[in-house]
Amino acid sequence: MNAYATDAHHDADHHGPAPGLMRWVTTTNHKDIGTLYLWFSLIMFFIGGAMALVIRSELFQPGLQIVDPHFFNQMTTLHALVMIFGVVMPAFVGLANWMLPMMVGAPDMALPRMNNWSFWILPFGFAMMLSTLFMEGGGPAAGWTLYPPLSLQSGNALPFVIFSIHMLGVSSIMGAINIIATIMNLRAPGMTYMKMPLFVWTWFITAYLLIAVMPVLAGAVTMLLTDKFFDTSFFSAAGGGDPVMFQHIFWFFGHPEVYILILPAFGLVSEIIPTFSRKRLFGYSSMVYATASIAFLSFIVWAHHMFTVGMPLVGELFFMFTTMLIAVPTGVKVFNWVSTMWRGSLTFETPMLFALGFVVMFTVGGFSGLMLAMTPIDFQYHDTYFVVAHFHYVLVPGAIFGIIGGVYYWLPKWTGNMYDEKLGKWHFWTSTVFVNILFFPMHFVGLAGMPRRIPDYAVQFADFNQIATIGAFGFGFSQILLLIVVVKCIGGGKKATDRVWEGAEGLEWTVASPAPYHTFSPQPLVK
Amino acid sequence: MKKFQRIPGGLVAVLLGLLLWVISFTAAADWTLNLTEGVTEISREVYGMHMMVLWICVVIGIIVFGAMAWSIIHHRKSKGHAPAAFHESMKAEMLWTVVPFVILVAMAIPAAKTLIVMEDTSDAEVTVKVTGHQWKWEYEYLNEGIRFFSNLHADSREAAALHSGIHPASVDNYLLEVDKRLVLPVGKKIRFLLTASDVIHAWWIPAFAVKKDAIPGFINEMWTNIDKEGTYRGQCAELCGRDHGFMPIVVDAVSGSDYDAWVTAELAAAEAAANSADREWSMAELMERGEKVYATSCIACHQADGQGIAGVFPTLVASPVISGDIAAHIDIVLNGKAGTAMQAFGRQLSAADLASVITYERNAWGNDRGDSVQPGAIDQMMK
């Protein structure tokens, strides 16, 4: 008897999850690991959110009331690092873990042991990063971009943050390798590339971006480390280096990173809108090509984050033109989503509401992005609250709404129970109203001249800041509804059908709800 | 099925009420919503371009969101709308690739033209070198030989302390006032040379539409030509550490003749200050002046009580430097400490200021070392 046969027999009979807590530590099951990622991300969402509320509380009125400016800077720095590396990225990986194998008809991820490892690195990486808050001198305070020479003035926090970034990078790269290997090798027979669901496509492209740029970030922060502790001068003019070189390297990572944070959300929305429009996605192939174009362009636009560093004129022109060009494929995506809805048969369950909120508010963020792309006017916007408004529009009602929409969309498949639709709608409407109260006024204060990353401001900015803070608390507390909905749904509820949604198409809806511990062995045949 | 059946009853009302409350709360206030038009030709061009792009976005937004809203209202299942079967159209895809591209080209051309003008710093009549320090600006008029520092105004600094109890609204131009303003003539092309001594800062006056980073070890250039006399305010626009929010920029734009008069007066004042090192200063005099200097130049890091911030900025109370020899104390104040935020104050402050502040630090907060240093001695060391 060969090993394969033994395995198959074993699997078919009694291979469920191991009992007890060790199940989560030793698991190699893509569904378990997906669950771990998603819970981790939710916990970090509340931690990063609490930091945002410290920031917004201090900014509620002019003058310093609550925290020292040095601690304020630690909060802005860690809020960003936590939200980017601890919330949005792990949430996407979690969704990918749960859904990619089921969407392409694979029995599991291609590299299950590495999958376990790439998750379990994360809590340790973040424990290291957040431990700096309890050290003398506190956490990193130079902004998540860690620009030298300022970041080199950090105390003990710097090496911890750098090693933590290394760990998160290793985790991301392993996750990305796993996703690529799964997609390339484990698709069900008949599932050609151009038949893959769009969430699979966007993740496929994102995984390549991750592999391309995470090592660049690792290199940049390692150079910071050697500048600080080993007397190198990569970024010090006094030693023949150049502080601006760090910014170039950082944003060569940073701009693709921006798309790493949004492309999977594009995929999620492209799954949700057709389902609730009961109509196929409009322009499937152009959606794929648009995603690939955005990914390609992301490598040649990085210096638009640094228009004010004093680049040569031709550099400024080049980066302005390439950046404006991104509006074309992004526009194609938005137009295709609207065309998918056009003459469909729409219903508005919570996932659809979040997807529609995504399309509208992401587009608002896209508009301000277009404005920022234009160098001469960017000089006025650069490093003001206008920028803060811009990237929060694309990341919160953008990426985060996409993720939440995806969670609502697949929650019945994961738990076997329908979530509480009424609470879900409350969650959507409160989030949407408050997120706009929170971020829309930031456009105004930014245009009126308020710089970002300041703990205190001139009195003429007071009113809008006050409104934004009210919105922040409203938005923050609205997210407790998400937690309630999820816990309630795990606990029970109306039983979900296999297909869950009337208009749902795709392999994941052909398996039972809740999805059995092992799905698709043997693999299905896709026609 | 009814239209809004699934939206919870009271929810819409509650949220609308909230929105109305926010709007009414905001309507009463006097505030700026938009970019300033500014007072230079460039700033007006920038403003015009900003408005153009804004309106293009609004129009596109109306079309896209309008189409979405139309589908949301009319193509819903609850109205019995059956889904259409179409899912691609080469024509439509071409249309919404080409049209946006053309619009972008139309936007890029004027932007490129303006940018080319903005980057042309040739033929300037006045050149000011701007140096960013943690957390103040230094201005040097290269042709006139005037050099001074510009700090946050003491009133703002006092009010901005944590739990100060002073309401910011009671301070004139809270956080946007300095102890010494930059004075510039109107109607002349002014070139700025930007650099920094420690970390990266950015010099920004919204009314001139100029913003550029001040980077240690490098010199950036930009220019402006102010049309209108007046006072214009800006702030540092690149995170530069703890007091990034507390290093404003204030420019007085004056007529050509007023500017010339100001230059003459500045040169005379500089000469008088240079002579202050010639006489013996009393302990009381040194302490009094030292307290003031400390409040502008040292307090941001070492704090009002001299205790610093643990792990970040060292304390001055009974610290090794204070307890040790005065020569080492003078050395660190004059030459700074590499790799930290401690700057070389030797080239920032006058001999009298340096002597006063060192004396003050050694005798304040219960340090009571009793020793002092004279401006004359510092002056000797700086030569």
Three-state secondary structure of A44-72: HHHHHHHHHHHHHHHCCCCCCCCCCHHHH
Q: What are phi and psi of A453, to 5 degrees?
A: 60, 35
Query: For residue B112, which residues of chain A lie inside 8 Å, CB to CB?
Result: 317, 320
User: Best of B104, B152, B301 to disrupt the A interface by mutation (most A CBs within 10 Å)?
Assistant: B104
Residue owning tokens 């092992």: A518
User: Best of B68, B130, B193, B219 to disrupt the A interface by mutation (most A CBs within 10 Å)?
Assistant: B68
pLDDT at B8: 55
Contact B162/A375, CB-based, under 8 Å? no
Single-letter amino acid, residue A233: S
Confirm or reject contact between A25 and chain B (CB < 8 A).
Answer: no
Q: What is the largest CA-CA distance in chain B?
A: 96
Single-letter amino acid, residue A229: F
pLDDT at B23: 60
Section B154-169 average pLDDT: 88
- On the question of a cis peptide bond just before residue A514, with omega within 30 degrees of 0, the verdict is yes
Query: For residue A459, which residues of chain B lie inside 8 Å, CB to CB?
Result: 168-169, 174
Query: For residue B11, which residues of chain A lie inside 8 Å, CB to CB?
Result: 425-426, 429
Q: What are phi and psi of B130, to 5 degrees?
A: -110, 125
* Helix then strand then coil, % of chain B, to nearest 5: 45, 15, 35
Query: For residue A321, which residues of chain B lie inside 8 Å, CB to CB?
Result: 108
At B303, list the tokens. Answer: 């704090």
Give the lowest-confidence range in A216-220, A316-320, B57-61, B350-354. B350-354
Rounded Cα–Cα distance for residues A142 and A153 (Å): 9
Pairing type for strands B190-196 and B182-185 reads unpaired
Contact A344/B167, CB-based, under 8 Å? no
**Between B31, B46, B108, which is nearest A463 by CB?**
B31
Question: Looking at chain B from residue 93 to 152, which residues have their Cβ under 8 Å from any Cβ of chain A?
Answer: 93, 96-97, 100-101, 104, 107-108, 111-112, 114-116, 118-119
Section B299-322 average pLDDT: 84
pLDDT digit string, tens, across residues B116-153: 999 999 999 999 999 999 989 999 999 999 999 999 99
Residue of A nearest to B5 (CA): A348
Q: Is the pLDDT of residue B1 over 70?
A: no
Pairing type for strands B248-254 and B182-185 reads parallel
Task: Identify whether the C-beta of residue A67 lies closer than 8 Å to the C-beta of residue A58.
Answer: yes
At A423, list the tokens. Answer: 């609470």
Per-residue pLDDT of chain A (527 residues; tens, 9 = 90+): 343 444 444 444 456 777 788 899 999 999 999 999 999 999 999 999 999 999 999 999 999 999 999 999 999 999 999 999 999 999 999 999 999 999 999 999 999 999 999 999 999 999 999 999 999 889 999 999 999 999 999 888 999 999 999 999 999 999 999 999 999 999 999 999 999 999 999 999 999 999 999 999 999 999 999 999 999 999 999 899 999 999 999 999 999 999 999 999 999 999 999 999 999 999 999 999 999 999 999 999 999 999 999 999 999 999 999 999 999 999 999 999 999 999 999 999 999 999 999 999 999 999 999 999 999 999 999 999 999 999 999 999 999 999 999 999 999 999 999 999 999 999 999 999 999 999 999 999 999 999 999 999 999 999 999 999 999 999 999 999 999 999 999 998 899 999 999 999 999 999 999 999 999 988 899 87
Q: What are phi and psi of B241, to 5 degrees?
A: 115, -165
Residue of B nearest to A290 (CA): B97
Q: Which residues of A are catalytically annotated?
A: 79, 108, 144, 171-172, 255, 257, 259, 270, 304-305, 330, 333, 452
At A63, list the tokens. Answer: 């003058």
Mean of pLDDT over chain B: 88
Contact A456/B240, CB-based, under 8 Å? no
pLDDT at A16: 73
Confirm or reject contact between A448 and chain B (CB < 8 A).
Answer: yes
Q: Is the pLDDT of residue B382 over 80?
A: no
Report helix, strand or coil for B22: helix
Distances A406 to A95, A265, A413, A472, B314 between C-alpha atoms, Å: 8, 8, 11, 23, 50
Residue of B nearest to A144 (CA): B239
| Other CB atoms within 10 A of residue B344 CB | 16
Calculate ∠ Cα A10-A11-A17, nearest 5°. Answer: 110
**Between B75, B112, B119, which is nearest A342 by CB?**
B75
Rounded Cα–Cα distance for residues A39 and A274 (Å): 27
Quote the DSSP letter at residue A88.
Answer: I
**Between A64, A328, A433, which is nearest B101 by CB?**
A328
Task: Identify whether the C-beta of residue A421 lies closer than 8 Å to the C-beta of residue B6.
Answer: yes
At B169, list the tokens. Answer: 């609204």
Contact B242/A70, CB-based, under 8 Å? yes
Question: Looking at chain A from residue 295 to 324, which residues have their Cβ under 8 Å from any Cβ of chain B?
Answer: 308-310, 313, 316-317, 320-321, 324
What pLDDT band is residue B376 in, cutting at 50, 70 and 90? confident
- On the question of a cis peptide bond just before residue A522, with omega within 30 degrees of 0, the verdict is yes
Residues composing chain A: 527
Query: For residue A344, which residues of chain B lie inside 8 Å, CB to CB?
Result: 71, 75, 81, 83-84
Task: Identify whether the C-beta of residue A276 lies closer than 8 Å to the C-beta of residue A507.
Answer: no
Calculate ∠ Cα B329-B334-B337, nearest 5°. Answer: 80
Pairing type for strands B230-236 and B210-214 reads unpaired
Return the percentage of chain B with pLDDT > 70, whole number: 91
- The minimum CA-CA distance between B190 and chain A, rounded to whole Å, is 17
Rounded Cα–Cα distance for residues A326 and A490 (Å): 41
Handedness of CA B317, B320, B324, B329 (dihedral sign): negative
User: Best of A334, A340, A348, A426 to disrupt the B interface by mutation (most B CBs within 10 Å)?
Assistant: A348
Single-letter amino acid, residue A15: H
Confirm or reject contact between A155 and chain B (CB < 8 A).
Answer: yes
Report helix, strand or coil for A449: coil
Distances A475 to A35, A56, A405, A478, B49 between C-alpha atoms, Å: 24, 12, 16, 5, 34
User: Best of B52, B88, B243 to disrupt the A interface by mutation (most A CBs within 10 Å)?
Assistant: B88
Q: Is A18 exposed, middle or buried (0-12, 13-18, 19+ CB in 10 A)?
A: middle
Rounded Cα–Cα distance for residues A391 and A386 (Å): 9
At A459, list the tokens. Answer: 């009195």
**Between B77, B206, B217, which is nearest A238 by CB?**
B217
Q: What are phi and psi of A504, to 5 degrees?
A: -70, 135
Residue owning tokens 């490098």: B218
At B165, list the tokens. Answer: 């109890």
Characterise B163 by phi-psi region: left (phi > 0), alpha (psi -120 to 50), beta (else): left
Residue owning tokens 């590339």: A193
At A202, list the tokens. Answer: 């966007």
Characterise B241 by phi-psi region: left (phi > 0), alpha (psi -120 to 50), beta (else): left
- The minimum CA-CA distance between B274 and chain A, rounded to whole Å, is 31
Q: What is the largest CA-CA distance in chain A?
A: 80
Confirm or reject contact between A142 and chain B (CB < 8 A).
Answer: yes
Quote the DSSP letter at residue A155.
Answer: -
| Other CB atoms within 10 A of residue B101 CB | 15
At A304, list the tokens. Answer: 């638009």
Q: Of the candidates A485, A490, A491, A509, which has an alpha carbon nearest to the alpha carbon of residue A499?
A: A509
Question: Looking at chain B from residue 230 to 249, which residues have their Cβ under 8 Å from any Cβ of chain A?
Answer: 234-246
Calculate ∠ Cα B222-B227-B233, nearest 5°. Answer: 65
pLDDT at A8: 41
Query: For residue A309, which residues of chain B lie inside 8 Å, CB to CB?
Result: 212-213, 215, 220
Rounded Cα–Cα distance for residues A212 and A255 (Å): 12
Rounded Cα–Cα distance for residues B220 and B195 (Å): 7
Q: Of the candidates B144, B116, B133, which has an alpha carbon nearest to the alpha carbon of residue B259?
A: B144
Q: pLDDT higher for B288 or A319?
A: A319
Confirm or reject contact between A339 and chain B (CB < 8 A).
Answer: yes
At A489, list the tokens. Answer: 């749904």
Contact B104/A325, CB-based, under 8 Å? yes
Residue A83 neighbours by CB under 8 Å, 6+ apart: A44, A45, A48, A395
* Helix then strand then coil, % of chain A, to nearest 5: 75, 0, 25
Contact B242/A69, CB-based, under 8 Å? yes
Q: How many helices (H) and strands (E) does chain B have?
A: 11, 10
Contact B71/A73, CB-based, under 8 Å? no
Residue A79 neighbours by CB under 8 Å, 6+ apart: A48, A51, A52, A55
What pLDDT band is residue B20 in, cutting at 50, 70 and 90? low
Q: Of the candidates A286, A423, A406, A283, which has an alpha carbon nearest to the alpha carbon of residue A354?
A: A406
Rounded Cα–Cα distance for residues B215 and B230 (Å): 29
Confirm or reject contact between B26 and chain A (CB < 8 A).
Answer: yes
Q: How many CB pairs under 8 A join A and B?
A: 341
**Between B57, B218, B312, which is nearest A155 by CB?**
B312
| Other CB atoms within 10 A of residue B376 CB | 17
User: Best of A54, A146, A153 to disrupt the B interface by mutation (most B CBs within 10 Å)?
Assistant: A153
Distances A30 to A4, A109, A113, A114, B236 between C-alpha atoms, Å: 20, 6, 10, 11, 49
- The minimum CA-CA distance between A309 and chain B, rounded to whole Å, is 5
Confirm or reject contact between B376 and chain A (CB < 8 A).
Answer: no
Residue A40 neighbours by CB under 8 Å, 6+ apart: A86, A90, A94, A119, A122, A123
Confirm or reject contact between A457 and chain B (CB < 8 A).
Answer: yes
Contact B237/A150, CB-based, under 8 Å? no
Distances B260 to A67, A373, B129, B187 between C-alpha atoms, Å: 45, 41, 18, 14
- The minimum CA-CA distance between B377 and chain A, rounded to whole Å, is 30
Q: Of the candidates A145, A64, A77, A448, which has an alpha carbon nearest to the alpha carbon of residue B246?
A: A64
Strand order in the sheet with B201-205: B182-185, B248-254, B230-236, B201-205, B210-214
Query: For residue A376, which residues of chain B lie inside 8 Å, CB to CB?
Result: 45-46, 49, 111, 114-115, 118, 209
CA atoms within 13 A on the CB side of A217: 28
Rounded Cα–Cα distance for residues B102 and B108 (Å): 10
Query: For residue B75, which residues of chain A lie inside 8 Å, CB to CB?
Result: 277, 341-346
pLDDT at B249: 97
